[in-house]
Every structure is written in structure tokens, then in C-alpha cells.
A and B are shown apart, each in its own frame.
Chain A
Amino acid sequence: MSVLVRDDGFHAEDFDGLAVELAPTTAPEEIAALVANAGLVAVRFDSFADGRGFTLGRLVRTAGYTGRLRARGPLIADQYAMARRAGFDEVEIPAEIAARQSEADWRARADWQAHDYRKRLGYKGCDSLLA
């Protein structure tokens, strides 16, 4: 079983509907068509060290998708703020990581909006990309 992480901590799976998963190799120009009717889009990370998903997350937002966006894979607590800033609403981690990295480790990064250089430089964030 995997665990969902949001700003307020751990949650059990609570989505039921049409989910679309994007592989790390998804081409930017294919994204809009793939996510058009989804109730949930999950961008898959095969390894925490593979950062493609962060760019893909933003591109899902740029493609006009406003629904629930999830980063799925063995991310670590230290990447929570990155995922949120890249446009994700939540992170889905394997139980093994949730057992090792406590809810407190994750919640320590719930302040992802603080200390953000890019925001200070006038980057409007992913929501602004929704035309």
C-alpha cells in the first residue's frame, strides 16, 4: 500500500475515478491530449534522483490541466517542496519510505511557499500558467 502526502500530513488513498499516469519519458507535445479527460493525473518518478517529473508536472499545468496532480514514486521528504512548487497537489510514496521517513519529516517541508527565490523574481507559479 502506498501513502499520500499533503501539506497536512499522511493520508490513505482517497481517489476513485479516471486516473492517468504519465511516464518519465512522456513527450511535452503529447501531454495535453493525454490529460484532457482525467480526474487525476499521476506523474511517475522511477527514482527520486530522476528529476524529469518536476518539469513534466509543470508542463501538465501549462497544458491547461486544473485537476488533481500527483507525483507518484519513491520521492523523499526533502523533495516535497520541489513537488509542490512544480505544480503537484500531493505526493504518493511507497509504504517503505513512509515507514522510514516520518510524517514529521514530510510536514517539516509543508512551508513550501516560504523562502522561494523564484517567486520573489516574479515567477507567477504554475497556477498562473492556466490560461
Chain B
Amino acid sequence: MYQHNAFDQAFLRNRNTQFRAQVERRLSGSLTEDEFKPLRLMNGVYLQLHAYMLRAAIPYGTLSADQMRVLAEVAERWDRGYGHFTTRQNIQFNWVALTDIPDILDHMETVGLHAIQTSGNCIRNTTTDALAGAAADEIADPRPYAELIRQWSTDHAEFQFLPRKFKIAITGSPDDRAAIAAHDVGLQLVEQGGEIGFRVLVGGGLGRTPMLAQELRPFLPSAELLPYLEAILSAYNLAGRRDNKYKARIKITVFEHGIDTFRQAVEDQFARIRPAYTGEDQQLLAEIAAQFTLPDLRENMAEYDATTRKVDPLYAAWAAQAVSAHKRADHASVTVALKVAGEEPGDASADQMRALADIAARYGYNELRITHSQNVVLPHVAREDLPAVHAALLRAGLAAANMGKLSDIIACPGMDYCALATARSIPLAQEIAQHFQTIGLEDEIGALNLKISGCINACGHHHLGHIGILGLDRAGAENYQITIGGHEGDSTHPAAIGEKMGPGFAYEAVVPALERLLRAYLELRNGAEETFLEAVRRLGLAPFRAALYAEVSDAA
């Protein structure tokens, strides 16, 4: 794991001192509210419906056990005892006081955590595959590059006041687990003739105008990453629209100018910027990469996992969902679901965070990851320890085996916390999860990716859900639009945006509509191996649309 060096520490302390002074200057009137706003946002401080919210970064989704303990402490001392893990590898504290935030930031700094550029019109926390460095299918570890981008983008003089926020995601595997096509810039590590480089995508984003990113360069040599990113950002900084915030994202810039014109602008900038970089970044990159090596994995009695599966059905059911292959066969990665039916997706209490930290310290080489589906991963666990990890998770109330299934719902905060919401999303997620578990269909339905957003900004990425739900406001009543067939993209199928099914449903009508839809799937599928998404691909949308609206048209 990356350890902050003296430079990083001095930077962070200085930055926190600056923010403390900014809060004081806001209170003294030196800064107006308008002037203070971007400054607090670039330090992770949002003003929400009920309170200030602090969004802290979990760079490339990696946390040490000690860092997790500090997050637990923040939740307990300054919030209401819990935190909310988001889809972009951040954690949000929803109930903090503005004047406490400088103290919270100082406390987080002691373990190298920060909230820099987690909000605002600047380059955000770079996200990546939660299994990075452990996954068996990886071309190269994306985390050293993500760290390099963190350093380069942090307090970048030119790009703190962009037209709009800017999000970069990077994947090291052909099986994209970072949704790169839905980002402003998506980077995919590729190999060409023995050289490592990037396939560079630009202009993806969801929100009110969902677009998948287009290819800007099929192969960028990895040594040119920083000047090339700088060129993209410069072109966007000048050309991005500033007259209408809904048209300000780079996806609109690329769409309005066309990818070829935009590419030309980037290449023009690149020619100017390239000579200003000495190449010293490559030396730093090598030093960074040396900190992302695998821990010293110990020899162990890996068979114990398989033998326990034979005799303990509860363990076997959990392991079938939670355990995935590791680079080294006698180890595994464990996914811990933060989607306990009836609780808020992505929420973790201070006790749960501490339990996870303890489990990571004892069995997981001190390492934890936060996934973009709001779950937690223990990337390296010796197979012989898996049954003990399961037992410890059971005690902490974290042993749900619903990963990748219906109740593993991604939902944004919606009406419960968010000032922009037009509908509730968390309570709906809770009702859906509970309903399908109660009627016992969840396991039969199998792999299903359901995503909910509480307004058109699409924080829940509903467009990419196999089933997506978007909560809107229609004449004062909540109304939920359903999309089908969305997909985040993997090695066999590119990312896809789901199709709207038709008129929306009232809050109470959503669960029955989903039940009709999913019962239709169970009837139509080619056996249990055919997932919902595969059935949609084979049969088209018509039978599913018919099922969704069956009752409505019967009544009419």
C-alpha cells in the first residue's frame, strides 16, 4: 500500500491549515459565501438538505486497517455513529458541523487520509478496480498510475476551476470493474508489443444526458500519461461550456464539437505541454509501484476451505458468492456485502468498520478495499482462514451472501439526505431487498444488478443497471421510471445504457411491477444458467415490457 512520504505529509498539513483559515475567513467576512463555496467543495465539504456533509477520499479504494479505525472514530466522535460508502470510492459523513471539519481533517491526516477534490469543479478522486493487484486477469496494476494521477491533479494550478467536475477511472483488466466508459476520462491498461500503455476514452457520463465514452487514443505509451491528461484537461478547460451547468461536462464538449475536432485540440495542446515534462515522473512512478507489491503471502492449508464447504452449507453458500480467485491459488479475495436487507446500501456503523479493521488486521494482511458497488473487499486472505473470516463476519452482522444478486442494490442517498432529490431511493431499495427475500425468489433469480437514483443526476448509475430505477417528481408525487438492459461493460460485452420501458410507477407500484418483471424472466429463461441480462439480450425488450405493464393494461 502507498505510504505517505514527508512531501505528502507536509502538503496535507499545509492544506488543512489553509482550509482552517478559509473557514475562519468565511466567518470573518473576508470570503463571501459564493467565494467560500468552491473552496469548501474542493476540500470535500458539501451543504446538504439537513447539514454539512464531509466526503473523504479512499484513494483507488484502498484502506489500511488503521485508516478504517480512524474512519470509525470520525463516525463516532463527529457524526451519528456511521458513514456511507459511495459508488466512487469515497466515504460520506452526513451529519458533521462545519466548524468541526478542520479538526476532522487533521485527525484523518494522521493516517494519510484526506478529502481533497472529492467535490467541486476539479479533478476528482481517481477510481479503479477494487480487486487491483489481486485479480488473476490483470494486465498491470492500475493503482500506481492512480496514485500518480492523484499527485499530479492535487492542487493542479490550472484545473481547480474547470467548467464542471472531472472524473477519471482506470482499469487494469479487460474485465472492466471500474465502469470506465461512464467517466469523463476512462483509462484501460493495455499491452502492445511488450509495452504497457493506455487505451484512452473520453466523454462518458450519465446524469441527464447519458453517454458512453469514445476512444480518443487506442494506445498511449504509459510514460506520456501526465502530459496527455494535461492536454485533455487544457482543451476542456478552454472549450467546455460555462453558460449552462447542465451542458458543462466534457461529454457535451465532445458531443458538440465532435470527437475528431476535440482530438485535434488535445493533440495541439499535447505538442505544447509534452516538452515541459522532464520524465522525472517515471522515476517517481517506479518508487510508487514498489509500494504496491503483494504482501508476503504465507503458505497455508488451503484445502481447509474446500473441506469446510463440504460439511457446512451456510459457509458454502456464503463462500460461493463472497470468495473470488486470487493471483495466488492458495489465497482468495473476499467481498463483504454492505447491503444488509433493511439497512441503507453502503452504510457502515463505527462498530462494523472496527470489526472489518480487526478482521483485516488478523486475516487480511491489513488491507481493505471499497468497491464501486459500495461493498468492502478483503483482497488477500489465505484460503485456510476463510471459514474464520466467515465466522467473524457473522458476528459483525456482515455475512450476507447477496453479492451480485438482486438485493446487492446500488442506491444514491435520494430524498433522505440529498438537496437535489426528486424521490426517495434508500427506502425503496430497502423495500425491494426485503420483499424478494421474503418471497424467497432472490436466489432463484440469481445474478442481477439493480441500481436506483433519486433524481436525474444519476448518482446511482441507474442507466448501467440490468434494471435501473430513476425516481422523479410528477406533479408532487414520486414517480419511478424503469430501464432494462444496462450493463457496466466487461470483456465480452461493452458497456450499455438501459432502455426506458414506458410510463413511470408510483412508489407503491414499483415492487409489484418488479415482481411481474422478474417472474416473467423466470418463466422465459433458458434454464437457471441464463441470467436476466442474457435473457433480455436473447429475447429483446418486448416480453419484459409486456410483463411490467400487464396489470396496468388489464385494468385499463
Interface residues on B, range: 35 or more
User: What residues of B have a CB within 8 angstroms of the CB of A83 in the complex?
Assistant: 157
Contact A117-B151, Cβ < 8 Å, known A54-B157, A122-B278, A128-B276: yes
CB pair A120 B242 closer than 8 Å: no
- Decide yes or no whether B343 CB sits under 8 A from chain A: no
- Decide yes or no whether B540 CB sits under 8 A from chain A: no
- Decide yes or no whether A35 CB sits under 8 A from chain B: no
CB pair A86 B22 closer than 8 Å: no
Query: In whole angstroms, how far apart are the Cα atoms of A83 and B160 in the complex?
Result: 11
CB pair A108 B21 closer than 8 Å: yes
- Decide yes or no whether B475 CB sits under 8 A from chain A: no
Task: Return the contact of A129 from the options B29, B162, B275 (Cβ within 8 A).
Answer: B275
Task: Return the contact of A121 from the options B11, B32, B152 (Cβ within 8 A).
Answer: B152
CB pair B226 A121 closer than 8 Å: yes
Q: Which of B65-73, B279-287, B313-321, B413-421 is found at the contact surface with chain A?
A: B279-287
Q: Which of B137-190 contact A (CB under 8 A)?
A: 148, 151-152, 154-162
Q: Which of A90-106 contact B (CB under 8 A)?
A: 100-102, 105
Q: Which of A14-59 contact B (CB under 8 A)?
A: 28-29, 48-52, 54-56, 58-59
CB pair B35 A48 closer than 8 Å: yes
Q: Using a Cβ–Cβ cut-off of 8 Å, how many residues does chain A contribute to the interface with B?
A: 40
CB pair B152 A51 closer than 8 Å: no
CB pair A124 B155 closer than 8 Å: no
CB of B67, distance to nearest CB on chain A (Å)? 21
CB pair B276 A76 closer than 8 Å: no
CB pair A51 B237 closer than 8 Å: yes
Query: In whole angstroms, how far apart are the Cα atoms of A60 and B121 in the complex?
Result: 24
User: What residues of B have a CB within 8 angstroms of the CB of A77 in the complex?
Assistant: 30
Query: In whole angstroms, how far apart are the Cα atoms of A55 and B265 in the complex?
Result: 14
Query: In whole angstroms, how far apart are the Cα atoms of A85 and B157 in the complex?
Result: 6
- Decide yes or no whether B546 CB sits under 8 A from chain A: no
User: What residues of B have a CB within 8 angstroms of the CB of A101 in the complex?
Assistant: 25, 30-31
CB pair A59 B272 closer than 8 Å: yes
User: What residues of A have a CB within 8 angstroms of the CB of B34 in the complex?
Assistant: 49
Task: Return the contact of A78 from the options B22, B148, B158, B159 (Cβ within 8 A).
Answer: B22
**Interface of chain B: mostly helix, strand, loop or mixed:** helix
CB pair B151 A121 closer than 8 Å: yes
CB pair A62 B272 closer than 8 Å: yes
User: What residues of A have a CB within 8 angstroms of the CB of B157 in the complex?
Assistant: 54, 81-83, 85-86, 118
CB pair B242 A105 closer than 8 Å: no
- Decide yes or no whether B556 CB sits under 8 A from chain A: no
CB of A130, distance to nearest CB on chain B (Å)? 11
CB of A59, distance to nearest CB on chain B (Å)? 7
Contact A51-B159, Cβ < 8 Å, known A118-B152, A122-B281, A124-B278: yes
Query: In whole angstroms, how far apart are the Cα atoms of A123 and B10 in the complex?
Result: 20
User: What residues of B have a CB within 8 angstroms of the CB of A117 in the complex?
Assistant: 11, 151-152, 154-156
0/1 per residue, B224-238, Cβ < 8 Å to A? Answer: 001000000010011
User: What residues of A have a CB within 8 angstroms of the CB of B279 in the complex?
Assistant: 122
Query: In whole angstroms, how far apart are the Cα atoms of A59 and B278 in the complex?
Result: 19
Output the nearest chain A residue to B152 by Cβ-Cβ distance.
Answer: A121
CB pair A50 B242 closer than 8 Å: yes
CB pair A100 B29 closer than 8 Å: yes
Query: In whole angstroms, how far apart are the Cα atoms of A75 and B510 in the complex?
Result: 50
CB pair B276 A129 closer than 8 Å: yes
Output the nearest chain A residue to B12 by Cβ-Cβ distance.
Answer: A115
Q: List 30 A-B contacts (CB under 8 A).
A: A28-B269, A29-B268, A49-B34, A51-B121, A51-B159, A51-B237, A52-B242, A54-B159, A54-B160, A54-B237, A55-B237, A56-B238, A78-B22, A78-B39, A79-B161, A81-B157, A83-B157, A100-B29, A101-B30, A105-B30, A115-B14, A115-B15, A115-B155, A118-B152, A121-B277, A122-B284, A123-B276, A123-B278, A124-B277, A129-B272
Complex A-B, nearest 6 residue pairs according to Cβ-Cβ distance, in ascending order = A51-B161, A122-B280, A85-B157, A122-B278, A121-B281, A82-B157
Interface contacts beyond A78-B22, A129-B275: sample of 12 additional A-B pairs, CB < 8 Å, sorted by A: A52-B238, A54-B157, A54-B159, A54-B160, A79-B161, A114-B14, A115-B14, A120-B7, A120-B280, A122-B277, A129-B272, A129-B276
Interface, chain B (partner A; CB < 8 A): 7, 10-11, 14-15, 18, 21-22, 25, 29-32, 34-35, 38-39, 121, 148, 151-152, 154-162, 226, 234, 237-238, 242, 268-269, 272, 275-281, 284
